[in-house]
Structure 1
């Protein structure tokens, strides 16, 4: 994970202990256990929610709009991170047994998730603005723009990979001496051989995260959703208030999840090359760890905010549950009855020509 890797180093030339004692910044065992439980919860709910979105788009609902394409790619980005989380937890507890390649890949998982998902959420807000605020002027243009949605997503992924390259290159598995002991511990952090490179990267990487992974999407969302809310306020629709609540929820959840971490990250980055006490550094790292966990929650909330609040998506979700129940019963009872459960199970899976078998799934 990008910035647990960036800041959890145990020796820092700028940390000064008043009593001239060695300063260990290693997490307390209770903190390690708590972090493991939190990350496990994030992994479980994030895996379930984002997998359901991908299953829905692949088997139950065709991607008919630009937002559909963006949502599918957001789910892919979030799924990359939540799948990496269990391996990160395992390797942190067992000295990175999976080796240096796994260290680099897992260390870069959050970075590529951050940039791709945040930029895609900005794209969704822009598409919603065009669809609602500029609805009359953009109808024909939107039907043609669907052709380019996959190109936009490809560009976002390429940009995210490019921004992740420094993390991939400099993340290394290495031995770190344990303070006050003769043995060493295996670490997977950003590791630099030159001081100048270390100083540049320790400022550049958090600056990129704050600018591209937070400020740019935030500005885009605030501008677009403000215009959308003004348009909805003027609309004479029974669904107006519900739509406004959804818009507010999207913006508020984004700010609540990501603002604390980015403020803590900015504060820590500004103090990186200043003299500071051991206790102050421990407190900052603790705040970073807590706020980072809150930021990770966003990958669990994206499916709820952007997909399952819609009536059609909830219908798809219910049909997935019905199909899973039918298939499991058919498998269990196939040996007992030649009919199985096929007499009363109706699947909502798309047929071979791409159409849905249930009328409620039609757009």
Structure 2
């Protein structure tokens, strides 16, 4: 079966409309609330970490990693309201230039956060397993140079996002996408098939689904919705952009940091148990929490992207629309990692809590 020969009947389209009505509106509202909670909690937590590392933590070697990680998470969370309101509205209302900047900044911060997370965990495991080497060679200046190189690399490797991403129009709504698609002519969006049963569904959802079917199929008739040869251009662009995004995200953004986090934290736990100088029971809780939180927050999005890529390659529009309905929720779950990072890596530390307590006490004494 060629890519553009798959057809969808009126009944299949109506079934999808019912599915969208059932799940899309409740999910939009839930995603909006979750985004706001994640944004508020994450901005406060990362702001505390940034303040602490700049003004209170003077000599700690890990301050460079914590500071840069908090900055990446803080910037990502600043953009989260744009994503939240776009999901709530069901389309992108901010224009093509904001779309390009939004996707570029998100891409830069996502990979910068991942690489800094890897460097942080490797630095931590070296400080325990090879303390002399870490004390001699991993100075604050070296750490700052590594972070600078991470930022430079992620900025330059994310530049294609500015070129290929863009905004496209389906009907009266505009959408922000990693691939720059062509607008669909409004005149072509008028339904051309006859419904055999009275339409009891919401008109907006009906038109939205039909318009998207017409966009991706590019050849709807009275009985079915099929793709023609022009559809290949759209689908090849989608497949190319998804592969360019999903494969690096899967390898670099998931498996590599997950393996590093697993290896480094297990090594730290083993080394500390051998030394018998730290409360290992408390350490094991922190180690297990770090691994579980990373796995729980990122795995749903990774699985969703894999399913979406498989659906697009098979030109399965029904499966594609269904997984796209839940993708904003999966992105929000991954976003929660930005507000959990400062809690796991810094705020659970005794030195950080003691420093914050002393700072608050000094403010209280001055005010009195």
TM-score range relative to shorter protein = 0.7 to 0.9
Matched, 1:207 2:247: yes
Distance 1:294 1:120 in 2: 20
For the 8 Å contact 2:123–2:134, the answer to whether it is kept is no
Give 1:13 shift.
6.3
Residue ranges of structure 2 left out of the alignment (5+ in a row):
183-232
1:300 counterpart residue number = 339
1:243 counterpart residue number = 283
Distance 2:326 2:4 in 1: 21
Cα deviation code 1:1-37 (max 9, x no counterpart): xxxxxxxxxxx96985343647667972322221111
2:194 counterpart residue number = none
Distance 2:105 2:4 in 1: 29
1:75 counterpart residue number = 70
1:349 counterpart residue number = none
1:43 counterpart residue number = 39
Distance 1:343 1:223, change over 3 A: closer
User: Among residues 159, 163, 168, which one is paired with 1:169 in the alignment?
Assistant: 163
2:100 match: secondary structure = helix
TM-score with structure 2 setting the length: 0.75
Give 1:99 shift.
3.0
2:310 counterpart residue number = 270
Residue ranges of structure 1 left out of the alignment (5+ in a row):
1-11, 178-183, 327-340, 345-363
For the 8 Å contact 2:262–2:291, the answer to whether it is kept is yes
Cα deviation code 1:108-132 (max 9, x no counterpart): 3332222111111110110011100
Q: What pairs up with 1:114-153 in 2 under 5 angstroms?
A: 114-142=110-138, 145-153=139-147
Distance 1:299 1:69, change over 3 A: same
Q: Which has the higher helix share?
A: 2
User: Among residues 353, 362, 366, which one is paired with 1:314 in the alignment?
Assistant: 353
Distance 1:21 1:240, change over 3 A: closer
Give 1:63 shift.
5.2
Cα deviation code 1:290-336 (max 9, x no counterpart): 33221111001000000011111112333454566x5xxxxxxxxxx
Kindly report the root-mean-square deviation, in angstroms, between the aligned alpha carbons of the 2 structures: 2.7
Distance 2:6 2:354 in 1: 56
* More off after superposition, 41-50 vs 233-242: 233-242
Distance 1:290 1:274 in 2: 24
User: Among residues 336, 342, 361, which one is paired with 2:366 in the alignment?
Assistant: 342
Cα deviation code 1:89-145 (max 9, x no counterpart): 345556655432222222333322221111111101100111001124443223xx4
TM-score with structure 1 setting the length: 0.76
